[in-house]
Amino acid sequence: MKTKKLLSMTTAMAAVALTAIAMSGCSSGSSGGGSSANAVPQTDTGGKITVWVDAPRVPAADAFKKAHPEIPINIVQIDSTVGATTTQQHFAQFDAAKKGWPDAIFFPSNDDVAWAAKTGYTANMSKETPDLVAGYTKTALASCLIDGTYQCLRNDAAPDVFWYNASLFKQWGYTVPTTWAEYESLAVKIATDHPGYISGFTGDAYAPNRYLWASNCPTNVAVNPTTVMINLKDPQCTRAAAMLSNLTAAKALSTAGIFDADAATVGQKLVMSPGAVWWGDYLFQQTWKLPKGTMQATTGLTWPGSSKVQMGDEGGGLWGMSSHIKGKELANAKTFMKFVVSDPAWQVELSTGLPAFTAQQEPWLKKQASDDFYADTASTLATFAPAIDTVPTDYSYLLYDTGGEWTSTVAKDLAAGSTFEKAWADFGTDLVAKAKAVGYTVVTSK
């Protein structure tokens, strides 16, 4: 089945749309959607639903159509670039026209849920689908908790684990790190002893999640709906920055991003790195096509002074449902949401990520085990679900895009040959400026 593709907007239209988002974001509250939802009459098509999905989630929508032929569905493929604003721009037009929203959406960036909730689009899933909300652990669904209600549902869990090339570790006689300090030391040694081999990536929008979120660095702390805490001078930030400075100076990290055109080539020389559980299937096996029996994962790393493993989180996509619908249209949208988050036809048979919905995790892991892709498949897969609880929960998705600011400063500066210190300073300046630009008051402590 063909799907419609949503084309990007012109620059002029984008500017107008973003202004509208900012204005509505500053004036709206949240009622399972923002207060603007109250001014929009709810519609009922009589049953037909429109869903927006990125390319990797088209199979989910197709599977739903096959499983529910009784529900007419319009599938629209949207831009899947993490950090892109195309979807946000279109929604600004819909908000102005008070019509046009999709009934359900897979958000291209997790940050998108912040503006979608602020402008009143997202339905209160605590109210609309309490049975589905109950199917997650609180940690797994923490990203969807906005102003006291769950305003999205999570597709897959994406906690980081520690990946390493077991073949190279055995060949070179290395011991697998268990702390961030050991990781840093070994990465420098690898770069010195084996030039060209790398121990991580800094060029993609998930890099700050990989290193800063893992350190619980306050870049995205929601103090209240209008105030955020950003403090790159916090010790939990400076320790991560010092490590990254040392690693970039030693050329231990690639300035490429994991989704770059040359990432598959660069990835052939990846020795170790923190990385999401979905790296295993999606990156290593399907995209980079690393040799079977090469890669291995352990639970993660600890910071000095703590025995608790602490890692970041990279994605774990979010589904949103419109608050602007009722009747049969709403009922069918709920059926769609239930399918994409909890039905094994998508979550087990087709999805490359660990299901966030608890009941489907074990079946998915059993299916992954049948591939026997890893050096020790059983022990690798055993790290995935427990890793969910190693992610700090102070991080919130907000109206500014931390990953986007990282790629426009740190990734850009490092690729151009700048020092990490300059890149870090640029990142801090731009992050605070962007938070203020979208209407937040920025504080350095709670």
How large a percentage of the chain has pLDDT more than 90? Answer: 86
**361, part of any domain:** no
Clarify whether residues 24 and 62 are in a common domain. yes
Determine contact, residues 446/221, Cβ cutoff 8 Å.
Answer: yes
User: Per-residue pLDDT averaged across 394-399, rounded?
Assistant: 94
pLDDT in tens, 236-283: 999 999 999 999 999 999 999 999 999 999 999 999 999 999 999 999
Beta bridge partners of 405: none
User: What local confidence, expressed as pLDDT, does residue 75 receive?
Assistant: 98
Lowest pLDDT segment from 6-15, 87-96, 101-110: 6-15
Joined together, the tokens standing for residue 117 give: 């909730």
**366, part of any domain:** no
pLDDT in tens, 366-381: 999 999 999 999 999 9
User: What local confidence, expressed as pLDDT, does residue 83 receive?
Assistant: 61
Q: What value does the mean pLDDT of the chain take?
A: 91
Beta strands 49-53 and 4-5, pairing class: unpaired
Clarify whether residues 275 and 238 are in a common domain. yes
Clarify whether residues 112 and 168 are in a common domain. no
How large a percentage of the chain has pLDDT more than 70? Answer: 91
User: What local confidence, expressed as pLDDT, does residue 34 receive?
Assistant: 45
**363, part of any domain:** no
Q: Which of 276, 236, 228, 220 has its CA nearest to residue 393?
A: 220
**208, part of any domain:** yes
Model confidence at 39, in pLDDT bands (50, 70, 90)?
Answer: low
Determine contact, residues 175/185, Cβ cutoff 8 Å.
Answer: no
Q: Which of 232, 290, 236 has its CA nearest to residue 258?
A: 290
Which residues, other chains included, contact 390 with Cβ-Cβ below 8 Å and sequence gap of 6+?
A: 159, 160, 299, 300, 308, 309, 310, 311
Domain with 233, as residue range(s), is 160-313+373-443
Helical packing angle, 86-97 and 11-27, nearest 10°:
70
User: Per-residue pLDDT averaged across 185-205, rounded?
Assistant: 97
Model confidence at 147, in pLDDT bands (50, 70, 90)?
Answer: confident
What secondary structure does DSSP assign to 247-309, as a single string?
Answer: HHHTT-SBSS-TTSTTHHHHHTTB-EEEEETTIIIIIIIIIS-PPTT-EEEES--B-TT--SB
Q: What is the CATH number of the domain that holds 271?
A: 3.40.190.10
